[in-house]
A and B are shown apart, each in its own frame.
Chain A
Amino acid sequence: MGADMNRGKVRGHAVALAAIALVSAGCGGGDDVDLDDPQGSGGGQGGDDQGDGQSGDGGTLVAAISAQPDQFDPHKTQAYASFQVLENVYDTLVVPDAEGEFQPSLATEWTTSDDGLTWTFTLREGVTFHDGSAFDSADVVYSYNRIIDEQLANAYRFASVASVEATDPQTVTITLTEPTPALLDNIGGFKGMSIIPEGAAEATDLATTAVGTGPFTLEDAGANGVTLARYDDYWGDPALVDGVEFQYVSEPAAALTALRSGDVHWTDNVPPQDIEGLRDDEQVELGVTPSVDYWYLAMNQTKPPFDNRDFRRGVAFGIDRDEVTEAARFGAATTNQTAIPEQSRWFHEYAPFEHDPDQATQLIEQTAAQSPQPMALMVTDEYPETVQAAQVIQAQLAEVGVEIGIEQEAFATWLDRQAAGDYDAFLLGWLGNLDPFGFYHAQHVCEGTSNFQGYCNPEVDSLLQSAAGETDQDARKALYDQAAELIVDDVSYLYLYNPDVVQAWAPGIEGYEIRADKAINFETVRLPE
């Protein structure tokens, strides 16, 4: 129902009514509006009663996140802030561990047919949704078909899926049109692929309520924050805290002050420039770990001279990644010339570009249309690090014959221009990928949906296509390694760095695990006495 608007009938001439309605909207109710009925239509849930259950006073963990979730429908939202909450409320069939390997969650085991086209998942028994209903295969079929049939934002993850069927209540069979070794990542890589109860989208408003199977129930949500309560009938070990309260604090100084003064227990609102100062701060526990995100520069390969491989290589030789990383992330990042970070099992060490201004000048001189060659670099204030990186890149490339004009846009405009191909070059990142398919495929195959830079190398294309269907993991890695080398050599993307995840929490908090994919889960957290 999310985007299903403007469908009402037109009824003219009642303008005066509008004014009256607005007047009452503006000045009438002074009461706090409770948007949510966490009970949904199901009724009968036991999450809120903090008195009953096993342990009464695990306390409430207060987490300050930097943005407000846009909505709680896991299949519709694309906002990280929403997933920070949903991570604790919903489950997927499989779930990545901290190393990015997939582990059982709502599915306990799975098998793949020899041709790689049929995947059979055995579901966990004794799982109940927060409305009390039992979880079975019909819920999985419903959830996946909802994403596919309604063409929701994550429908592309089912591109190779022919059907999802409930073989019996505890078994789900996914049939594919082509082997898809990345299937586990596609259905479990993040909570956008959560399982909701059959019919939930019709029965309740999933944008404001949640009916998951996870360790916490969504009790209350509004402009002021989100409250979760422990779900005592959770299929795993029940959470140690009684509940979690998310507050939205956009201003880092306010978030850190709240952490120091004990008003909040956890925050991810730590700008990289504050890391050094916090390392010796005894009132704050700082967590820093490399993430799976990567940031890159892309040039428009449908436009001369950026369509010239040698020109792009010249730019690649002209950039000093260490300086860029220092400026953009205050060092809280690892430079990388490929997409996949070094702690991943899919990492491939390949770094052909040493900072070499002489070679850069030479290559650019030979291929540029004019001297110096102008190049507009599109960045967005949505991600301030792109702005900072652009300033350093501007200075570096000025020395090798490229004159950068920085174009700072609002993200909505930025995305429009990217889609229209209206740019010379841009800086951006991709966040949260785990499988090499996610890191490379849609960005670098000729017709890829995310190939905005217009890159097309038939050799890379065939390598990526075979890798996408290769079921032997070692052979698959070899294919991706080859493809990655070509992508780097051709400068389809000019990879810059993998940023660190930075979070801070109160000293004495136990059991919290900071993760490379930035999933935050408070299931195992214990508050200090």
Chain B
Amino acid sequence: MTRYALRRLAQSVAVLLGVSVLVFAIMQLVPGDPIRAALGQQADPETYQALRDRAGLDDPVPVQFVTWIGNAAVGDFGVSFRSGETVLSLILERVPATLSLAVAAIIVALLIAIPLGTLSALNPRKPVDWFASLSSQAGLSVPDFWLGIMLILVFAGTLGWLPSAGYVPLTEDPVEWARHLILPAITAGVSSGAILTRFVRSSVLESLGQDHVRTARAKGMRARDVLTWHVLRNALVPLVTVGGVQLAYLLSGVVVVEYVFAWPGLGQLAFQAVESRDYPVLQGAVLLFAVIFLLVNLVVDLAYARLDPRITYRSAR
């Protein structure tokens, strides 16, 4: 298993290298000059040229790439064109907020998906099932920004129970942290929850039809125990995969939710970087997202072996 993990890690490095080449190339193709974007309309030609020189933007593209990758290899991801801060500090600063929101949102999603999906699988083509598929359809169709604004208007405006926007670090005030987290987590969690609900439903249905479940029932096991020990345990293994992908997606920033709730996460950072053609920040962010996806996938694959002893990893060739 250690060998397997190492091999996966080596593959990941190759993927990351590919991703950075791709990102670099795409940014060269996208129209829009980062220096002009930073200067705005009042770009005096001399200032413009001076800034371009300083940023090394007139070097040949391969030279720029090699310089960047060389620096990145030693942990120097460059300095933002827009703010003059190091890319690493800009990213690190946003990790706690992103982590809080992603974890809270996936919890919301699971709290919706597991009970709802299981209930509807146990009662196929009954009102509960209809309700579940209707609400997961709704959860998928409702736009994030609309749901977010509605939640703000109701819970922060009319009822006044929760703050309307903003983020408080956990280390500063845990209660306020939680209060600020609720609405964004629900908004981000609903669509993931909707996706996962359908997944849980079909997965549980599949498990229910399997032989060992029939056997367990036949030998007179209590329905609740059958469900817990024979159905859910099996049904939830694939959920780890899909849930992992959802978590990775949430970790790479939910731009719209962050925008609506003024949440200082990675999505906003990447979005701003795109808007201002802030190449170093964008490269750093995309690379980080790639790392997140690779890592989450790795963890998911390794977790499989734990959850399902039948799966082992040998050097499959």
Which residues does A use to contact B, with CB under 8 Å? Answer: 1-19, 21-23, 25-27, 29-33, 35, 68, 70-71, 73, 76, 78, 150-153, 155-156, 205, 207-208, 222-225, 247-251, 253-255, 257-258, 260-261, 263, 382, 410-413, 415-419, 428, 430, 449-450
Q: Is B123 an interface residue (CB 8 A)?
A: no
The answer for the CA separation of A416 and B79 in the assembled complex, in Å, is 23
Contact B96 A35 (CB under 8 A): no
Query: CB-nearest residue of chain A relative to B155?
Result: A257
- Are A4 and B79 also in contact (CB < 8 A) when A15-B13, A254-B152, A450-B42 are? yes
Contact A412 B34 (CB under 8 A): yes
Contact A207 B83 (CB under 8 A): yes
Smallest CB separation, A279 vs chain B (Å): 19
Q: Which 4 A-B pairs have the closest CB atoms?
A: A412-B32, A2-B84, A223-B264, A207-B84
Contact B39 A153 (CB under 8 A): yes
A412: chain B residues at CB < 8 Å are 31-34, 36-37, 275-277
Q: Is B43 an interface residue (CB 8 A)?
A: yes
Contact A413 B32 (CB under 8 A): yes
- Are A251 and B260 also in contact (CB < 8 A) when A5-B280, A208-B85, A411-B275 are? yes
Smallest CB separation, B110 vs chain A (Å): 21
Q: Is B40 an interface residue (CB 8 A)?
A: yes
Contact B85 A71 (CB under 8 A): yes
A1: chain B residues at CB < 8 Å are 79, 84
17 A-B pairs with C-beta separation under 8 A: A5-B78, A6-B55, A6-B56, A8-B76, A25-B91, A25-B92, A26-B295, A70-B276, A151-B51, A248-B264, A254-B152, A263-B166, A382-B275, A412-B36, A413-B32, A416-B33, A450-B42
The answer for the CA separation of A187 and B76 in the assembled complex, in Å, is 37
The answer for the CA separation of A413 and B276 in the assembled complex, in Å, is 10
| Interface residue from B31, B46, B73, B163 paired with A18 (Cβ < 8 Å) | B73
Query: CB-nearest residue of chain B relative to A2?
Result: B84
| Interface residue from A8, A31, A255, A418 paired with B70 (Cβ < 8 Å) | A8
Which residues does B use to contact A, with CB under 8 Å? Answer: 9, 12-13, 16-17, 31-47, 50-51, 54-56, 59, 64, 66-76, 78-79, 81-85, 88-97, 99, 145, 148-149, 152-153, 156-157, 160, 163-172, 259-262, 264, 268-269, 272, 275-277, 280, 287-288, 291-292, 295
Query: CB-nearest residue of chain B relative to A429?
Result: B41
For the residues of B in contact with A, the DSSP-based class is helix
Contact A224 B46 (CB under 8 A): no
Seed contacts A13-B73, A19-B12, A415-B33; 14 additional CB < 8 Å A-B pairs: A2-B83, A6-B71, A9-B70, A12-B73, A22-B16, A26-B295, A30-B96, A30-B99, A35-B93, A71-B82, A76-B84, A251-B152, A254-B149, A263-B166
Contact B32 A249 (CB under 8 A): no
Smallest CB separation, B114 vs chain A (Å): 25
The answer for the CA separation of A73 and B83 in the assembled complex, in Å, is 9
Contact B89 A33 (CB under 8 A): yes
- Are A263 and B163 also in contact (CB < 8 A) when A155-B44, A415-B33 are? yes
The answer for the CA separation of A5 and B69 in the assembled complex, in Å, is 13
For the residues of A in contact with B, the DSSP-based class is loop
Contact B16 A153 (CB under 8 A): no
Contact A27 B83 (CB under 8 A): no
| Interface residue from B84, B160, B168 paired with A3 (Cβ < 8 Å) | B84
B170: chain A residues at CB < 8 Å are 32
Contact A68 B153 (CB under 8 A): no
| Interface residue from B34, B56, B168, B275 paired with A7 (Cβ < 8 Å) | B56
- Are A6 and B64 also in contact (CB < 8 A) when A18-B16, A156-B47, A254-B261 are? yes
A223: chain B residues at CB < 8 Å are 90, 93-94, 97, 264, 268-269
The answer for the CA separation of A263 and B180 in the assembled complex, in Å, is 12
Contact A257 B157 (CB under 8 A): yes
Contact B262 A19 (CB under 8 A): no
| Interface residue from A11, A22, A152 paired with B288 (Cβ < 8 Å) | A22
- Are A5 and B56 also in contact (CB < 8 A) when A71-B84, A260-B157 are? yes
A250: chain B residues at CB < 8 Å are 259, 262
The answer for the CA separation of A4 and B76 in the assembled complex, in Å, is 13
The answer for the CA separation of A208 and B93 in the assembled complex, in Å, is 13
- Are A6 and B67 also in contact (CB < 8 A) when A17-B73, A254-B165 are? yes
Contact A11 B264 (CB under 8 A): no
Contact B88 A15 (CB under 8 A): no
Contact B66 A10 (CB under 8 A): yes
A413: chain B residues at CB < 8 Å are 31-32
B79: chain A residues at CB < 8 Å are 1-5
Query: CB-nearest residue of chain B relative to A11?
Result: B70
Contact B92 A33 (CB under 8 A): yes
The answer for the CA separation of A208 and B36 in the assembled complex, in Å, is 22
- Are A258 and B41 also in contact (CB < 8 A) when A15-B13, A30-B95, A35-B85 are? no
Contact A151 B47 (CB under 8 A): yes
Smallest CB separation, B14 vs chain A (Å): 9
Contact B71 A8 (CB under 8 A): yes
The answer for the CA separation of A152 and B44 in the assembled complex, in Å, is 10
Contact A222 B264 (CB under 8 A): yes
B148: chain A residues at CB < 8 Å are 251
Smallest CB separation, A158 vs chain B (Å): 11
- Are A3 and B55 also in contact (CB < 8 A) when A151-B47, A260-B157 are? yes
B59: chain A residues at CB < 8 Å are 6
B45: chain A residues at CB < 8 Å are 449
B96: chain A residues at CB < 8 Å are 30-33
B153: chain A residues at CB < 8 Å are 253, 257
Smallest CB separation, A10 vs chain B (Å): 4
- Are A3 and B74 also in contact (CB < 8 A) when A35-B93, A155-B46 are? no
Smallest CB separation, A152 vs chain B (Å): 7
Smallest CB separation, B41 vs chain A (Å): 7
B95: chain A residues at CB < 8 Å are 25-26, 29-30, 33
Contact A155 B47 (CB under 8 A): yes
Smallest CB separation, B190 vs chain A (Å): 18
- Are A247 and B262 also in contact (CB < 8 A) when A11-B73, A32-B171 are? yes
B55: chain A residues at CB < 8 Å are 3, 5-6
Smallest CB separation, B298 vs chain A (Å): 10
The answer for the CA separation of A263 and B163 in the assembled complex, in Å, is 7
B73: chain A residues at CB < 8 Å are 11-15, 17-18, 21
The answer for the CA separation of A18 and B9 in the assembled complex, in Å, is 12
